[in-house]
Amino acid sequence: MSPTADSLVEITGLKFNYGEREVLKGLNLSIPRGKVVAILGASGCGKSTLLRLIGGQEKPAQGTVRVAGELVHELDTDSLHRLRLKMGMMFQAGGLFTDLSVYENIAFPLRENSDLPEELIRSLILMKLQVVGLRGARTLMPSELSGGMARRVALARAIVHDPMLAMYDEPFAGLDPISLNVIADLIRRLNDALGTTSIIVTYDVSESLKLVDYLYVIADGVVVGEGTPDAMLASDNPVVHQFVHAEPDGPIPFHYPAQPIAAQFGLK
C-alpha cells in the first residue's frame, strides 16, 4: 500500500540487525488511518521488532519510520514520550503487573500519564472493562485470571486512553477457539468504534483473514506480499501461498540456517 496523506504509519527502506544478524533488509509498508492491518510472517522474521521500531524502543540501522508524520527515530526523549501517549500496546505475553489487581493494572497508564481526577479514571476503567466483558472481575489478581481473561484485561489497558494507534503483538497466541474469537471481535469492534488505527502482528492466518482490512507478509527481511484478505488467498507468490495456506513445503524453510548435520557431528 503506497504512502498517502491518509497513512498513519509510513516505513521506507527499513533495515535493522541484532549484531551481525540482519532481521529487516529494506522493508517498506504503509498503515492507513482507521484500518486494521495485519503483519504476518514466520517466527523470527522481525514482526515484533517492527513494532518496537514503530514505538521507538529500537532505532533502524537504515531507513525511516514515520508515525503521524513524525520521524520516530529522530525524536528527542520528550517528543517521543508525547507520541507514545497516543499509542496503545498489547504485549505478546499480556504484560500485566502481577502485584496489581485488574482495576489497578488498567488504571496505571492513566495515573502515570495524565492528571485526570480519580472519579473520571474510574469511569474510563469501568467502561473499558464492560466492553471486554470483565467489569465483574475488576478486583481479581492476574494469577486468578484464565489466559483469555488476561488477554482481555491487556486489551482494555491498551485502549483505555482511546489511542490514535493500537498495536497488538501476537494477541491470539495460546488462546482457545472461543477466547480467540472474542479477542479478534473486540479488536475489530473497538478499532471501528474508537476511530483507532490497529496493527496486529501474528502468525494466525485464518483469524487475520477474517478480521483485517489489509495484510502484509514478511519473509527474509522484506515484504513479499501485500493486499486484501481475498487477494492474499488468491496470490500466486510462492512464499505468500505457502504461508497463507500453511503448506509444509515451499520457499519458507523450517530449519534455521546451519551447517550440515554430518559436519556438526564430525562425520564425512
Indicate the helix (H) or strand (E) that contains 227.
Answer: strand 222-227
Calculate the CA dihedral of residues 193, 130, 149, 141 and round it to 10 degrees. Answer: 130
The pLDDT of residue 121 is: 94
Q: DSSP string covering 177-223, please?
A: HHHHHHHHHHHHHHHHHHT-EEEEEES-HHHHHHH-SEEEEEETTEE
Q: Which residues in 76-170 belong to E strands, given as ranges? A: 87-90, 165-169
Q: What is the DSSP letter of 249?
A: S
Half-sphere exposure of 73 (CA within 13 A, CB side): 19
The pLDDT of residue 1 is: 56
Q: What's the CA gap between 45 and 203, in Å, rounded?
A: 10
The pLDDT of residue 123 is: 94
Q: What's the CA gap between 100 and 125, in Å, rounded?
A: 14
The pLDDT of residue 32 is: 94
Q: What's the pTM? A: 0.87
| Among candidate residues 61, 153, 59, 173, the one with its CA nearest the CA of residue 104 | 153
The pLDDT of residue 203 is: 79
Half-sphere exposure of 258 (CA within 13 A, CB side): 10
| Among candidate residues 225, 216, 227, 228, the one with its CA nearest the CA of residue 251 | 225
The pLDDT of residue 268 is: 65
pLDDT tens per residue across span 29-38: 999 999 999 9
Q: What's the CA gap between 124 and 160, in Å, rounded?
A: 7
The pLDDT of residue 147 is: 84
Low-confidence ranges of the chain (pLDDT < 50): 3
Let me know: does 187 contact 109? Beta carbons within 8 Å: no
Q: Within the chain, what is the greatest distance between any pair of CA atoms?
A: 73
